[in-house]
Structure 1
Amino acid sequence: MPELIQQAPTGNLQATHSQSGSFAEKVWNACLELIQENINSLAFKTWFLPIRPLSFSGSELTIEVPSQFFYEWIEENYSVHVKQALRQVIGPEAKLMYSIVMDKSQGQPVTIELPHQNAHAPTESDTKPERAQEPVSAERERFERNRTKFESNLNPKYTFSTLIRGDCNSLAFAAAKSIAQNPGQNAFNPLVIYGGVGLGKTHMMQAIGNSVLENRISGAVLYVSSEKFAIDFVNAIQNGNIQEFSAFYRNIDVLIIDDIQFFAGKEKTQEEIFHIFNTLHQANKQIILSADRPIKEIKGIEDRLISRFNWGLSTDIQAPDYETRKAIIQSKLKQNGVNLDPAVIEFIATNVTNNVRELEGCIVKLLAAHSLDNQEIDLQFTKSTLKDIIRYNTKQLTLETIEKAVCSFFSITPNDLKGKSKKKEIAVGRQIAMYLSKDMTDSSLKTIGLHFGGRDHSTVIHALNTIEKKITSSNEERKKIEELKKRIEIMSM
């Protein structure tokens, strides 16, 4: 039970703290405690930590969300949890107001009330008059005449059907699907996807383009790397073709640019991008960008570009978790018409944790070796074939493998293990998982604490001391730990 409920009964909560911003924060924090118990930690961090409580009056709480997309996603996926928490904290008359930031550059939020799914005040997009048909420019006419020569540069293999959705990319995936259905006519233009190497950014961006082409929403879809854009721009200047270069890009309907961090320090190129961006955005054309880190962390990019890149939705793709890695492997095998022993799939998913590209590389190498040697792909063959890629031992076990083994042993879920429940079997399982993580891996106390629900290092130390005392004083507890270690070692083979 949240501390707030213990301090004040529901009836007094409304009268005493009306219109108090600081109390709104206490109310919302109490709601978050309840919500966090019912959803996984990654979803909680993605969708609820960015929310800011604004005010609390009577039985009405107002919260600010970063975009229309945020509101729609929460309403569609988490409204039951939110409503339950509100009623529990505020009372049966609880009411929620959303303040949606429609224009981040001006800092002017548009507030909409949503007690029901279809009741809301008009937003900027609702009240915007329909754009009149613009006269076709000479450049556009030339562009349309040359459409048959137009190359989108898209890889036809990069589609949504071959893209695995998981907690690691859920926000980016949902935004990409929405954009593919209605490019340019949404609250997240531009879409900026950032993350490390080999996590699927290019696949996701090109999936949007391929979907737009497949559904014939537009034929003017272009994928280009930042390096190619910069080289073509320099060549256009040297050859006196800068007007044709600019006109071409300003007539694209869906422009996809990969790895924009390489524009850093290129002042002339950034100036051209700035003008192309403005033209496309004002014409409601879709812009999709990728980077290896958040835009604000890229040094050498002009402030005016950073401001525009942040107009829409900026979201990251993280390294895939264990279940997503298994799904990626199974999808790749299905595409190749191959079935593998589940032990082989589990071995690869457990030991290849960095990115999607490494996983796919393992499958390609395994299938190639199989076709050359004509041997059965069993666990031993897999280990031998992938020994240069996978270097495993008990000190390279992943926390996810330990988590899975402990959950299976105690018949609990990962959400239980990472949540706030203090039930005996869950609390004991959580402490054992932390103990084994420290004993069997090189992970720091901070890393272990973050993995198991964002706990601090002192909580991990307490867990280690508790389990150490138990196995020292009890043969039964020691046998339990030894059994779990055996299971974990088998799972990592």
Structure 2
Amino acid sequence: MTNNYLEAWSNCLEIIKDNVSLQSFKTWFEPIRPVKLQNSVLTIQVPSQFFYEWLEEHYITLLRKTIKKELGAEGKLEYSIVMENGTSNSKPYTVKIPTTNRQALKNDPVSVPLDVNKDHPIKNPFIIPGLKKIHIDSQLNPNYSFDSFIEGDCNRLARSAGYAVAKNPGGTAFNPLLVYGGVGLGKTHLVHSIGIEIKNQHPNKTVLYVSSEKFTHQFIDAVRNNNQNDFIHFYQMIDVLIIDDVQFFSGKEKTQDVFFHIFNHLHQTGKQLILTSDKAPVEMQGMEQRLLSRFKWGLSADLQSPSLETRIAILENKMYNEGLELPKEVVEYLAYSITTNIRELEGALISLLAQSSLNKKAITLELAKQMIDKFVKNTAREVSIDYIQKVVCDYFDLPIELLKSKTRKREVVQARQIAMFFAKRMTKSSLANIGMHCGGKDHATVLHACKTVNNLIDTDKRFRTYIDELEKKISIQ
């Protein structure tokens, strides 16, 4: 048995490392710092109350056995919990809690008190000052529910994590839950869905959605009016805080500082934080490291561009909710043409309906092509490989699965070569990417296909007719 606290904790870590996963070890044990060893009592410092509670809930048996093995039968463990109060100029203080007496946690002032005088109610930056907590408007959009959020491979992880949070806010490992991804992929929709579901399942919880821009403006107003404490106290009352587009805190040091303390208080008191960003924490610039490290505490789930099937499902869901009917070929054309942005996809559908209504024209594929030509002019102008394959398969009456298969039947090979030819000519995709879309072929096969098609255009009049007709069908010029 050693009397050196550094050596004692190092020996404990060696035992713990063999009994937990590498990720768990890095997350929950590497941040711990040994403080002292006195009378067979090892004191360790942990970053927060939440951290302490997690260790007690998930690793108490392992810790107890490890301490007994290292320090003997009389060995005990004490925690020194680093806390910060709700102001920016305070120094951290510590609270000692014996691991054998969890009740001690409730008796120590480890959480930051609101320190509110009942005669001076907290000002609510969203509504008339003085209203009670229960009257806080959640700022959630009722149209953004889980029912209208279409699940696909592009968002399955984020949606599943969001639903788990909705069932048990503040009680899962997904705290904070950070949802990130490009513009128009459904981040805002998803976090509204989580908030709405929490309100449905936990009506006593106070849920608040706020954009980072509004949060910043409220803070600036609070500084100007010298009521920063009211601003901080208001946000410390929230049970589930949803902040949209946290990347806009970049470069705003004072806003980051006040959000850091609000974040800490909510996290340490078991409240749920849900954040969105256009990029992963590791890619955020101009953000304080202590804030970024907290963003990484929970789960960072990305939203990717939706697949063709998901895009079609999104359009069909929108049509169902609006009581609309469109020809299948038009729906497919929209889904094939706009590939990266759900917001643009739904916008294209609305524009098409407006064009039809204003001009008293039936919704046809031709009208859709004309509308897409204008709608996509400044965005994703390029036709997709998927759409080229669909048009070619429809033209030759072949299942698209057959075109992507390994079959060497003459008519399938020819259709596949034509699809490769148009993909190289009408998209910016690499030869390797085109080959991958066409049944996993390599770039040499794509080059050979293009050469074969060019030769047939020059020598076969009937084949040249095929190409001319297909070009008209595919083209969105």
Distance 1:177 1:100 in 2: 27
Distance 2:406 2:370 in 1: 44
In structure 2, which of residues 327, 352, 361 is the aligned counterpart of residue 375 of structure 1? Answer: 361
Q: 1:263 maps to which residue? A: 249
The answer to whether 1:360 aligns with 2:346 is yes
Aligned length: 374
1:140: Cα distance to partner? 11
Q: Which amino acid aligns with 1:150?
A: I
Asked if the contact 1:432–1:463 (Cα under 8 Å) also holds between the matched residues in 2, the reply is no
Q: Which amino acid aligns with 2:327?
A: D
Give secondary structure in 2 for the equivalent of 1:367. helix
Give secondary structure in 2 for the equivalent of 1:257. strand
Residues 238-257 of structure 1, C-alpha deviation per residue, up to 9 Å, x if partnerless? 21111111111112111111
Which protein has the larger Cα radius of gyration, Structure 1 or Structure 2? 2
Residues 396-423 of structure 1, C-alpha deviation per residue, up to 9 Å, x if partnerless? 3202223556788765649x95xxx977
Mark the CA change 1:311 to 1:473 in structure 2 (over 3 Å): closer, same or farther. same
In structure 1, which of residues 155, 163, 170 is the aligned counterpart of residue 141 of structure 2? Answer: 155
Q: Which amino acid aligns with 1:344?
A: V
The answer to whether 1:181 aligns with 2:164 is no
Mark the CA change 1:296 to 1:481 in structure 2 (over 3 Å): closer, same or farther. farther
Distance 2:240 2:339 in 1: 33
Distance 1:321 1:140 in 2: 54
Q: TM-score, normalised by structure 1?
A: 0.64
Q: 2:224 maps to which residue? A: 238
Structure 2 unaligned regions, length at least 5: 1-18, 32-53, 61-101, 123-129
Structure 1 unaligned regions, length at least 5: 1-96, 110-121
Matches within 5 A, 1:56-135: 99=21, 101-102=23-24, 104-105=26-27, 126=58
1:433: Cα distance to partner? 5.4
1:291: Cα distance to partner? 1.1
Distance 1:138 1:484 in 2: 77
Distance 1:150 1:262 in 2: 24
The answer to whether 1:463 aligns with 2:449 is no
Asked if the contact 2:417–2:453 (Cα under 8 Å) also holds between the matched residues in 1, the reply is no
Distance 2:398 2:256 in 1: 56
The answer to whether 1:329 aligns with 2:315 is yes
Residue identity over aligned pairs, in percent, reads 41
Distance 1:98 1:404 in 2: 50
Give secondary structure in 2 for the equivalent of 1:187. coil
Mark the CA change 1:107 to 1:347 in structure 2 (over 3 Å): closer, same or farther. farther
Matches within 5 A, 1:4-15: none
The answer to whether 1:388 aligns with 2:374 is yes
Residues 180-206 of structure 1, C-alpha deviation per residue, up to 9 Å, x if partnerless? 111111122111111111111111111
The answer to whether 1:319 aligns with 2:241 is no
1:265: Cα distance to partner? 0.9
1:430: Cα distance to partner? 7.6
Q: TM-score, normalised by structure 2?
A: 0.66
1:365: Cα distance to partner? 2.2
Distance 2:174 2:348 in 1: 35
What's the RMSD between the two structures over aligned residues? Answer: 4.2
1:368: Cα distance to partner? 3.1
Distance 1:389 1:150 in 2: 40
Q: 1:272 maps to which residue? A: 258
Distance 2:471 2:298 in 1: 44
Q: Which amino acid aligns with 2:238?
A: I
Mark the CA change 1:299 to 1:172 in structure 2 (over 3 Å): closer, same or farther. same
Distance 1:423 1:381 in 2: 36
Asked if the contact 2:249–2:287 (Cα under 8 Å) also holds between the matched residues in 1, the reply is yes
Stretch of structure 1 that moved more, 150-159 or 431-440 = 431-440
Q: 1:68 maps to which residue? A: none
1:386: Cα distance to partner? 4.7
